[in-house]
């Protein structure tokens, strides 16, 4: 049996369409949601992501305040820019596109973004709230993955979820969100022995390793929901995920394609967080 292909573009569109009305309602109250996107340097992938984010903002009536600054920007200059954005009432959300050039200290920047404007959800306040199960901005990609499961009726409650990857921006937060939804969660990483055996136990498998097709089709449990967060460019230029899609889809119950699965959800949830940040400023 072949898996149901999870259509991230469709789910993302439904979410952004609903946001359009919220943006209109905010504008009627005199608040135009504003997202400041900071791009340092010329990383081609980052430029592409930033341009997609800006386009989606515009299409929803969210004001995109682009801040494209040169590769050789100093830490001091970047910190000053963040300080200005923190204090600018037109800016409701701040996103600093990662990775930053090597000479800059990402952690210091993430700590500097005001908690009320941390729409990426990467700052200590947002991540602390996630651990504490308190309301706060959720990191966009993990939040988007949870929305995909929900949209396709996959309830994590009582299921065994396996997360491959332990990054601060994907692996760890998605594990916490699955736990919040009452899954039993195993987090695997590069030092995990028996990765295949562990993956085979997964009712929900989330792959966030960043290695092209590393998770093989025969590692998938029959009927599992497979969420592929990887975006890898192969030598022939083809875009693939972390999961061997063609083989995995013969065993999975649900699977996200790459592209068109998790990717569009990241931007949709960023828009969601930006609208939430703007709503919080309405008295």
By annotation, the residues acting in catalysis are: 53, 97, 120
Span interacting with ligand GUN, options 24-32, 56-64, 90-98, 204-212, rule CB under 6 A: 90-98
Positions in 174-213 near ligand GUN (CB under 6 A): none
CA 138 to chain CA centroid, Å, is 9
**What does DSSP assign to residue 215?**
B
| Choice between 49 and 219, CB closer to ligand GUN | 49
Q: Which two tokens stand for residue 260?
A: 């068109």
Q: Read off φ and ψ for residue 239, nearest 5 degrees.
A: -90, 125
Q: Site for ligand GUN (CB under 6 A): how many residues?
A: 8
According to the binding rule CB under 6 A, does residue 274 interact with ligand GUN? no
Residue 274 burial class via C-beta count within 10 angstroms: exposed 0-12, middle 13-18, buried 19 and up: buried
Q: How far is the CB of 252 from ligand GUN (least distance, A)?
A: 25
Q: What DSSP string describes 23-79?
A: HHHHHHTT---EEEEEEES--HHHHHHHHHHHHHHHHHTPEEEEEEE-TT--HHHHH
Q: How far is the CB of 99 from ligand GUN (least distance, A)?
A: 7
- R_g of the chain computed on alpha carbons: 19
| Choice between 64 and 141, CB closer to ligand GUN | 141
Q: How far is the CB of 158 from ligand GUN (least distance, A)?
A: 30
According to the binding rule CB under 6 A, does residue 96 interact with ligand GUN? yes
**Residue selected from 73, 181, 266, 273 as contacting ligand GUN according to rule CB under 6 A:** 266
Span interacting with ligand GUN, options 19-27, 92-100, 108-116, 232-240, rule CB under 6 A: 92-100
Span interacting with ligand GUN, options 93-101, 109-117, 187-195, 257-265, rule CB under 6 A: 93-101
**Residue selected from 141, 198, 273, 274 as contacting ligand GUN according to rule CB under 6 A:** 141
Q: Which two tokens stand for residue 11?
A: 């789910």
Contact between 159 and 204 (Cβ < 8 Å): yes
Q: Is omega for the bond preceding 247 within 30 degrees of 0, making it cis?
A: no
Span interacting with ligand GUN, options 58-66, 91-99, 156-164, 199-207, rule CB under 6 A: 91-99
Q: How far is the CB of 273 from ligand GUN (least distance, A)?
A: 11
Q: Parallel, antiparallel, or unpaired for β 232-233 and 239-240?
A: antiparallel
Is 231 assigned a ligand-binding role in the annotation?
Answer: yes
According to the binding rule CB under 6 A, does residue 98 interact with ligand GUN? yes
Residues 6+ apart with CB under 8 A from 214: 207, 230, 242, 243
| Choice between 241 and 253, CB closer to ligand GUN | 241
Q: Rounded to a whole number, what is the largest CA-CA distance in the chain?
A: 57
Is 191 assigned a ligand-binding role in the annotation?
Answer: no
Residues 6+ apart with CB under 8 A from 151: 6, 11, 14
Residues that bind ligand GUN (CB under 6 A): 95-98, 120, 140-141, 266
Q: Would you list which residues are annotated within the binding site for NADP(+)?
A: 165-167, 231
């Amino acid at each position: 049996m072949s898996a149901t292909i999870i259509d991230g573009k469709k789910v993302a569109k439904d979410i952004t369409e609903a946001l359009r009305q919220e943006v209109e309602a905010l504008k009627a109250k005199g608040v135009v949601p504003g997202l400041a996107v900071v791009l340092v340097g010329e990383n081609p992938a980052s430029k592409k992501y930033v341009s997609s984010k800006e386009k989606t903002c515009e299409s929803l009536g969210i004001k995109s305040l682009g801040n494209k600054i040169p590769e050789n920007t100093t830490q001091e200059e970047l910190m000053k820019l963040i300080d200005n954005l923190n204090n600018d009432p037109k800016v409701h959300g701040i996103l600093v596109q990662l990775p930053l050039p090597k000479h800059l200290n990402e952690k210091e920047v993430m700590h500097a973004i005001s908690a009320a404007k941390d729409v990426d959800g990467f700052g200590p306040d947002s991540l602390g709230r996630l651990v504490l199960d308190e309301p706060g901005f959720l990191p966009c990609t993990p939040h988007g993955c949870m929305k995909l499961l929900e949209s396709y009726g996959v309830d994590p409650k009582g299921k065994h979820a396996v997360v491959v990857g332990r990054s601060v921006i994907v692996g760890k937060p998605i594990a916490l969100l699955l736990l919040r939804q009452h899954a039993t969660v195993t987090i695997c990483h590069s030092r995990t022995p028996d990765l295949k055996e562990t993956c085979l136990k997964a009712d929900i498998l989330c792959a966030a390793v960043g290695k092209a097709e590393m998770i093989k089709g025969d590692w998938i449990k029959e009927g599992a929901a497979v969420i592929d967060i990887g975006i890898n460019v192969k030598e022939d230029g083809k875009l693939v995920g972390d999961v061997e899609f063609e083989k995995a889809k013969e065993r999975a119950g649900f699977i996200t394609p790459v592209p068109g699965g998790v990717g569009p959800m990241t931007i949709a949830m960023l828009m969601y967080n930006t609208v939430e940040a703007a709503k919080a400023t309405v008295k």
